[in-house]
Amino acid sequence: MNKGALAKEEIVSVAADVIRSKGYQSTSINDILVSSGIGKGKFFHHFKTKHDLGIAVVDRYIDTWKTRMIEEILQGDFPAKTRILHMLEETLGSFQNSNVKKGCPFGNLAIEMSEHDASFRERIASFFHEWAMALSETLKDANLIPEDRAYDYAEHIISSIEGAILIAKVKQTSKPIENTVSILKNTLLHQRSISHE
């Protein structure tokens, strides 16, 4: 029945993994065919171009992380401070073991594709923006940051995390992520309000 649809989802899922490891441009369609055990015809039946697949993969990343990070955690039912802690812990948990080497799906594509292709760039920029908005709201809820600084501070937290994942990737250890998460926790939670200092 919806076998076709399922098949397409499976290709995206396999491709998401491969692309996260190898990058979009270095991933050949053949890589995906081999990884998923399908033929060329099937692939191009579902995706008009490789670019189409790339976009489907990005959209899938965004769906997943928006649900997990933004909706379930940042906009969840816990007290604001707790939600922020959960976000940091979730980050930490997501980049252990083999995932350290793979890096952040968004950060990877942000760097690889921003100059090549606007449709990748815009999607990723918009995801980071939505994340920063949600975090900004939570920071305000927690009374940790004055309203007019909240977005900037949220963006800084997110970029710190991305940077930590980048350094972790090149060092092949999750230490930089733990480090940054710990510093962010301290800075955020052991002070009444950051800008008062």
Partner DNA sequence: TATGAATGAGCATTCATTCAT
Partner DNA sequence: CATGAATGAATGCTCATTCAT
What is the contact surface with a second copy in residues (CB under 8 A)? Answer: 21-23, 25-26, 101-103, 107-108, 110-112, 114-116, 121, 124-125, 128-129, 152-153, 155-156, 158-164, 166-167, 169-172, 176, 179-180, 183, 186-187, 190-191, 194-195, 197
Tell me the C-alpha distance between 139 and 95, whole Å.
Answer: 23
Among all chains, which residue has been given the structure tokens 């995932």? Answer: 99
Say whether residue 48 binds DNA (CB under 7 A): yes
* Contact call for residue 116 and DNA (CB under 7 A): no
| Binds 34: which of a second copy, DNA, none (CB < 5-8 Å by kind) | none
Mark residue 104 as left, alpha or beta (left: phi above 0; alpha: psi -120 to 50; beta: remaining): beta
In terms of CB distance, is 31 or 137 closer to DNA? Answer: 31
* CA dist 34 → 29, 38, 57 (Å): 9, 7, 17
Q: How many CB atoms lie within 10 A of CB 69?
A: 22
The piece of 3-11, 62-70, 85-93, 145-153 that touches DNA (CB under 7 A) is: 3-11
